Amino acid sequence: VEGYRVIYQPTVPLQGVSKVVTVDVRGSWQRWLKARDLTTGATYTFSVQALTVSYGPPIRANLTAQPVQGAPGSPVEMSITKTSTALTLHWSEGDAGSAPVTGYVVESRPSDEGVWDSFIRLIPPSSRSVTVPLERLRSGISYEFRVIAINRYGYGQPSAPTAALAGNYTRQRAPTYTQMEIESVGQEVIRNVWCCAAAPCS
């Protein structure tokens, strides 16, 4: 056996979308997989195929995602602010669970996809905000965000989603120059002098 292929997806579409995840595991020693970004309470179909010369027949099982005992609770007091170039997510720590929080991840849900997916990982545990440049977002698409706390027991419940914000980013125009002079200083040094249209020449 050279490896395994694991495929999982919800048994019914979630919010109208059925996301299929395929993971190839190399080597025969690992016989487990940590599945992430599952929706609590949703049932998923998992299939596993062994790889030799080719992939063999799959074995399948259904599993309902449950909260991990000891994992953190949901971050609270979610809010979002936006400037012309960036947006900032703010949150407060929720229940830490049975162990200290070791970090946070941010998930996003674009309006044209409808599926939550990883956006930023891993944020330090002391953080209560994170800033995202608007150029990371697709123009004309609205995004919702949520934050998930992590401790040694696993991923906690996600926060309530933020209000949807459009990823409209206006790139700043490059400055234009109105005057340029070339001045010779001595035999070997040439000095360039120019003026920017946004500032007076000196």
Report pLDDT for 117.
83
Q: State which residues form the domain around 84.
A: 76-166
Query: Is residue 16 predicted with pLDDT exceeding 60?
Result: yes
Query: Is residue 41 predicted with pLDDT exceeding 70?
Result: yes
Last residue within a domain, chosen from 65, 97, 118? 65
> For residue 105, is it within any domain?
yes
The larger pLDDT score, comparing residue 121 to residue 197, is at 121
> For residue 199, is it within any domain?
no
pTM for this entry: 0.62
Average of per-residue pLDDT across 27-52: 87
Considering its fold, how many domains does the chain have in total?
A: 2
Which residues lie closer than 8 Å to 186 by C-beta, 6 or more apart? Answer: none
Is the CB of residue 102 less than 8 Å from the CB of residue 151?
Answer: yes
Report pLDDT for 39.
81
What is the per-residue pLDDT across 125-179, written as a single tens digit (0 to 9) for each? 999 999 999 999 988 899 999 999 999 988 888 999 999 988 775 555 555 555 5
**Main-chain dihedrals φ then ψ at residue 40, nearest 5 degrees:** -60, 135
What is the per-residue pLDDT across 58-70, written as a single tens digit (0 to 9) for each? 999 998 888 778 9
> For residue 104, is it within any domain?
yes
Pairwise CA distance, residues 160 & 147, whole Å:
8
Co-location of 121 and 149 in the same domain? yes
Report pLDDT for 7.
95
Report pLDDT for 200.
55
Co-location of 102 and 58 in the same domain? no
Which residues lie closer than 8 Å to 145 by C-beta, 6 or more apart? Answer: 80, 89, 106, 107, 108, 109, 119, 161, 162
What is the per-residue pLDDT across 182-191, written as a single tens digit (0 to 9) for each? 555 555 555 5
Co-location of 114 and 157 in the same domain? yes
Co-location of 81 and 30 in the same domain? no
